[in-house]
Amino acid sequence: MIQRHISKGRWQFDYSMTISIIAAVTQNNVIGKDNDLPWSLPADMQFFKDTTKGHHVIMGRKNYLSIPEKYRPLPNRTNVIVTRQNDFVAEDCVVTHSVEDAIEAAKESGEDEAFIIGGGEIFKQSLENNLVDRMYITRIHTEIEGDVFFPEIELNVWKEVKREDCEADDRNEYAYSFIVYEKS
């Protein structure tokens, strides 16, 4: 995000980092069940991979450990884990003790867009503490039973700026929409 202002009669530019959430959410706001994703949507996996590649990805300790061992840390991204445990160790990852510290770590590395990738506790705190500029939501057009939820999106705060609707097919079991929200 670039902000400009006039200082001493000249335009000044501030280069600040965009903080984005990326999440896949069913119609009933489910994002997880039994520490896993209760659906198979390879198109969404690919979208996640393409969107976050090269960036910092910030995640809760439970989300990190829910990723199968052979796929973690997520490759070609800086994995930043948030935990309250002082002795938590994860090879080739940055370990922090709050979402704010995770964001600071990304900023200090010169990141332009950091992605908060869940899970539920981390999404909730990021939104409640007003840390987020943009949300990439894959809305899955079905209701599924689950035990972790995404907060209700407040449409008086968030404006839909982009949408792509996709049908279910042989590989993707439900219809879904890629939606981008920004603060209105």
CB distance 105 to 9 below 8 Å: no
From candidates 122, 132, 179, 180, binder to ligand NAP by CB under 6 A: 122
Please give the C-alpha separations between residue 64 and each of 1, 48, 77, 81, in angstroms, as whole numbers: 27, 15, 13, 7
Query: Is 37 near ligand NAP (CB under 6 A)?
Result: yes
Query: Is 73 near ligand NAP (CB under 6 A)?
Result: no
Q: How far is the CB of 182 from ligand NAP (least distance, A)?
A: 19
Residue 143: CB atoms within 10 A of its CB come to 11
Residue 54: CB atoms within 10 A of its CB come to 10
Query: Is the Cβ of residue 73 or residue 119 nearer to ligand NAP in the bound state?
Result: 119
Q: Scan for tokens 């990190």, then name that residue.
A: 64
From candidates 116, 117, 135, 179, binder to ligand NAP by CB under 6 A: 117
Amino acid at 28: N
CB distance 62 to 119 below 8 Å: yes
**Cross-strand bridge partners of residue 181:** 135, 160
Task: Spell out, one character per residue from 76 to 115, where the chain touches ligand NAP: x when CB under 6 A holds, - when not.
Answer: ------xxxx--x--------xx-----------------
Q: How far is the CB of 77 from ligand NAP (least distance, A)?
A: 14
Residues of the shown chain interacting with ligand NAP in the complex, contacts defined by CB under 6 A: 23-24, 31-32, 35-37, 60-63, 66, 82-85, 88, 97-98, 117-122, 125, 148
